[in-house]
Amino acid sequence: MSQDYHGFISRVKQLVGIDLSLYKEAQMKRRITSLRDKRGFNSFIAYFEALKQDKELLNEFIDRLTINVSEFYRNPKRWEVLQEKVLQHLIKDKKSLTIWSAACSTGEEPYSLAIMLKENFPDVQANILATDIDEKALDRAKQGIYKEQSLKDLPEIYKNKYFVQKNGLCYLDDQIKKMINFKSHNLLADRYPQNVDLIVCRNVLIYFTDEAKQNIYTNFSNALVQNGILFVGSTEQIFSPDEYNLSVYDTFFYERINQN
């Protein structure tokens, strides 16, 4: 059974370029097994043969791997700190910021950043890159259409100003959509952008093995400018940040510091 699974993940890597051995095994195996069983395959090999031939089955499989749940202003207290403290710190000596929302899913996170900057730092020129491994999530992000539930923590005033509500859905204003450059990027395989002032990477590191996380922290640290900030999810604190030339700036925020 375990051999069957390990053979499966190495074939999946060849087929779609996603290395599942870098994701926590128990959780990933459970998710994939339940989908495989639901589709009526009793071995991973048989399931893989079907994935190779059936595009829809493959899309469903990729969808299951990538957990796309997101919200505007997710964990609003942290977004307050971002606005009041972190962004103030970052713009102290500059008028333009390079920001990367990594694993942005369907766009709620980069759009929250865009709204925050436009409303509170209108003189700052913001280059916001938003990336994810999941092309379907990126397509939805570009559309900018959301269920009301995902806006529950967005300040009401912004909700009224930047969304049109129709048939129970919320349509984001084009001027905010235009502020984001969406791109496909695999955190486990692709080159990282450089000279970034702020990296927001939340609620994805929890899925990776410790080894994969360590590589990602190193890459993030190298991607940041001196004194740049990494903003992680609310269960994702880094245990020895100094190993990556990072220091705690505030809870769930890390600052890039000098190499020793």
Chain residues in the site for ligand SAM (CB under 6 A): 66-71, 74, 103-105, 108-109, 132-134, 137, 185-188, 202-204, 233
Select 134 or 197, whichever has its Cβ closest to ligand SAM. 134
Q: Any idea which residue has 């926590």 for tokens?
A: 24
Q: Any idea which residue has 């399931």 for tokens?
A: 47
Q: How far is the CB of 136 from ligand SAM (least distance, A)?
A: 9
Q: Any idea which residue has 């009526």 for tokens?
A: 40
Select 41 or 224, whichever has its Cβ closest to ligand SAM. 224
Question: Could you give the CA distance from residue 128 to residue 249 in angstroms, rounded to a whole number?
Answer: 22
**Contact (CB, 8 A) for 200 and 113:** yes
Q: How far is the CB of 258 from ligand SAM (least distance, A)?
A: 29
Report the half-sphere exposure of 84 (CA within 13 A, side-chain side).
Answer: 7
**Contact (CB, 8 A) for 102 and 201:** yes
Cβ neighbours, 10 Å, residue 162: 24
Select 1 or 26, whichever has its Cβ closest to ligand SAM. 26
Select 104 or 113, whichever has its Cβ closest to ligand SAM. 104
Q: How far is the CB of 118 from ligand SAM (least distance, A)?
A: 20
**Contact (CB, 8 A) for 194 and 223:** yes
Q: How far is the CB of 40 from ligand SAM (least distance, A)?
A: 26
Listed residue (235, 201, 227, 195) closest to 216, CA to CA: 201
Q: How far is the CB of 105 from ligand SAM (least distance, A)?
A: 3
Select 41 or 151, whichever has its Cβ closest to ligand SAM. 151
Listed residue (181, 167, 188) closest to 22, CA to CA: 188
Q: How far is the CB of 207 from ligand SAM (least distance, A)?
A: 6
Select 127 or 186, whichever has its Cβ closest to ligand SAM. 186
